[in-house]
Amino acid sequence: MTLQAPSVSQARSGLGDLLERYRGGEIRALSRAITLVETGGAEGHALLQSVRAGLQDKQRPTVLGLTGSPGSGKSTLVAVLISVLRSQGKTVGVLAVDPSSPFSGGAILGDRIRMLGHHADPGVYVRSLASRGALGGLSARSMQVLSVMEGFGFDVLLLETVGVGQSELDVAALADHTVLVVTPAGGDGVQAFKAGIMEIADVLVVNKADLPGADRTARELRAAQMFAPHDEHTFFPPVVQTIASRSEGAQALLDAVQSHRDHLGAAGLRAKRLERARFELRSLVQQRALSLARSAGTALLEDVASGRVSADEATRQVFASLRHGVPGSASAGASPSSSETGP
């Protein structure tokens, strides 16, 4: 028996059925929709466009991003936040980005393991994404997946980053409110401010506050804020102490998030949405640029390596070739037909 690929009409019918089940609140349809969008391709693109078109008429959920160094207790804190939010009758979606292996490309998805206590709750949905080498603490597809989860109708979305340290700045572009989680053993307030991650925080959390030095860390964080540029309109991120392992401090954290939301107002939230669009556009442009760099012809790479052509000029040639519909084919002194696929 010969297997045949589904026709275009069959594919469209299947997508329509998936969208109907997704809009009807079926979790399996949500999972399938996320997989399609994360994978990419025409079907995933069409689904994403339909979902985003529907978002225009919906009340969007609050998106809370949590970042911080590995071991600071982000996943445990997320699990506690879920419990508090569920006790208030709110539905919760969690998008947890786990680091990928540089060798296999796989991920352990350990964040999801720490949230297993909520797996039987129909009001909670946890999805893990592999970072696939993304440097900003998030997967390159995080924005698209987040949109699919927004369209499903959750009250609150919790976005947890990889946990690679002070370079995790992308979360601020996606989240309405960014929470930075530190621990008493993570250095003083000045150290935390050095690389810029403190500047994206809307709420500062000193987790594991039962450890020695927690009060001192909280004081230093408050004091360090005064050294940053500010004026009479500056919002100083509240500093909250939590002990996630004992489920302590989660409500104080949510209250601090609400204070930031009140500060933003409708205009501030609209600005956040624009920043999300900027982040997504930038991410897709970067992906395309990386693809072009990988497809650059061997002749062009040899010209750059030998110094005959500067990297800046080679970049201009590659983008020029894209405009002419022949990605990566340009090379100094070489015709398009002479190029080969590079690494």
Six token digits for residue 138: 């998030």
Q: What CA–CA distance (Å, rounded) separates 237 from 35?
A: 36
Q: Which residue bears the tokens 């540089």?
A: 102
φ/ψ region of 41 (left if φ > 0, alpha if ψ in -120 to 50, else beta) reads: left
CB 69 within 8 A of CB 182: yes
Adjacent-strand bridge partners of 243: 248
Residue 174: the pLDDT is: 86
Per-residue model confidence (pLDDT) at position 266: 92
Q: Which helix (H) or strand (E) holds 37?
A: helix 27-39
How far is residue 236's CA from residue 238's CA, in Å, rounded to a whole number? Answer: 6
Pairing of strands 177-182, 62-68: parallel
**Contact between residue 93 and residue 154 where contact means Cβ atoms under 8 Å apart:** yes
Residue with tokens 């440097």: 135
Return the sign of the alpha-carbon dihedral for residues 269, 275, 276, 277: positive
pLDDT at 99: 54
**pTM value > 0.85:** no
User: What pLDDT is attached to residue 100?
Assistant: 44
Residue appearing with tokens 């980053």? 161
Splitting the chain (343 residues) into consecutive groups of 10 residues, what average pLDDT does each group show? 41 79 95 91 91 85 89 91 96 80 42 61 87 51 88 94 58 88 69 62 94 92 80 89 96 97 94 86 78 79 89 85 56 37 34
Q: How far is CA 288 from CA 112, 142, 279, 295, 336, in A?
A: 31, 16, 14, 11, 20
- Pick from 56, 50, 62, 58: which is nearest to 21 by CA? 50
Beta strands in the chain (DSSP E): 62-68, 92-98, 124-130, 156-160, 177-182, 203-206, 239-241
